[in-house]
Chain A
Amino acid sequence: MNNKVTSEEIFDAIVEKTGNKKVFTNDYIHEFISVVKEGLEKDGKVNVSGLGIFKLNWVGAQNRINPQTGENIKIPAHNKIHFQPEKKMKAFVNREYNHLKPEEIVTKEEKQNKEDIIEDETNVNGDGDNGMPTTSKISTEEDIIKNETNVYGDEDNDIPTISNESTEDIIAEKPSKKFPYIPVFGTLIIIIILFLLFLFFNKKDNKPYSSIPPKLEIVKNKDTAKIKKGKIAIVKDKKEKTGMIKDKKEKISMIKDKKQSSVKKQETMHKETSIIHQVISGNTLWGLANKYYDNAPLWPNIYRKNIETVFNPDIIKSGMSIEVPNLEGTGYNLTKQDSFNIAEGYYLSYLAYKKIGKKKASEFLRIAKRFNTTVEKK
């Protein structure tokens, strides 16, 4: 709990700085407050350099309803105090997050929504063109409709049996029914043709994708077989029992080798820049990631740089200096290399948690795979 600073403590701090008497500072601040109030009464605006601007806003009379009883309440017109801090003060208060700036986001959903809206508008216009003219003709030009009724009456033999008053209603409905059938059937046929075309193209596209994964599996099996040949000297029964676990470890080692080779290549291409942060009590890797990247789940990227000094990623000692590598992109738009680095960080944190014996260690490996797969898709 934050205890409020009392006014006496403020006075004492001022006395230490200036060397004046305590009575003087007490009077000084009370006078200061009264002067600011008088200034507000005179001009409606007081500029205190170091804090900000105090202003009066005039609020007009308002009517409100009490929701419990349903009574009307009148709030009379009154003044309201508004405080606007200075630029320097704003930057000082927001000193932790000054480097963060607003980001733009363009998602796939937006593009789809835009296309959908355009399609809807075209459909609406199409219906309106078909439907509206018939009604307008009937309402405005009655003589022409009477002629038309006779024409329809001659064509359809069933209608003349009904009385003349009812024919007008039936005929007014008929033309509106006839028109919409044509575009509906036409669109249905086009959609069916499009589906058939898509099916043909998808079959052709699926073949190359289906041919790749078996190759990868074969490569993995070969490698595992080579490793197994080297270890035949070990007792075979143990292998059968722990076969599943060892396969996992070998796969992990494969992933690690791949990553290291790829990371080394990339590091030669792009050199990372980094900031050095000195740890204060209360700092965590999670908090640092939130501070510098504005996205807390990217903390393994910081842990990756400081494996030699930090053994348990949950614990940081105060007084340490930690390297915080800069991202190429931003916290929400990651580049390829960023997601590689983060996947590596998650993998290293998985190893560290496994040494300690944490239960949820395997989740970090799962997240590492997620970051790695996104890179391959891109």
Chain B
Amino acid sequence: MTTNEIIKLLSERLGCSQVKAKKTFVATMETFKEIIRKEDIFSLPKYGTFKVKKKKRRKLFNPKKKVYLILPIKNVLSFKPSNIFKNEVKEWRVK
């Protein structure tokens, strides 16, 4: 499913125009970004939490080239689904 399909469905269900639905969609994504910049964590009810995790610097060995690598520090965005969402998903049968 793509974003355009999501916006179409939302406009049908809420009874508003597609332009309005798209504007609010863009605004929500911008607010998510701003929250990540300030707090590094936010959650949506009955869906899950988004969190910025820090990964330490670490050493790797490439067995083909026989060379050691040092990977630098990294920040990664992770998503942890809530328990309700997790249990709902378990028994679905996708094609």
Contacts and interface: CB of A to CB of B under 8 A. Distances in A.
Contacts of A54: 79
Contact of B46 (A33, A41, A96, A106): A33
Interface residues of B, number: 62
A244 to B, nearest CB: 43
Interface stretch (A82-90, A249-257, A259-267, A356-364): A82-90
- Most A CB atoms within 10 A — which of B14, B33, B39, B77? B77
Contacts of A37: 85, 88
B3 A29 contact: no
Nearest to A78: B90
Contacts of B6: 32, 35-36, 39, 46, 48
B93 to A, nearest CB: 9
A45 B95 CA distance: 11
Contacts of A163: none
A104 B67 contact: yes
Main secondary structure of the interface of A (DSSP, over half): mixed
B72 A101 contact: yes
A52 B27 CA distance: 16
Interface stretch (A11-19, A124-132, A235-243): A11-19
Contacts of B32: 50-51
A83 B73 contact: no
A103 B59 CA distance: 10
A55 to B, nearest CB: 10
Interface string B1-45: 111011001100110100011011111111111111001111111
A173 interface: no
Given A18-B24, A39-B6, A33 B42 contact: no
Contacts of B2: 47
A58 B93 CA distance: 9
Contacts of B74: 94, 97
A107 B3 CA distance: 50
A89 B39 contact: no
Given A7-B44, A35-B6, A41 B14 contact: no
29 contacts: A2-B39, A7-B44, A10-B42, A14-B28, A17-B31, A18-B27, A24-B14, A28-B14, A31-B14, A35-B6, A39-B1, A40-B1, A41-B92, A41-B94, A42-B94, A44-B94, A49-B3, A50-B32, A51-B29, A56-B92, A58-B94, A79-B91, A81-B81, A85-B77, A90-B77, A93-B36, A97-B72, A97-B73, A104-B67
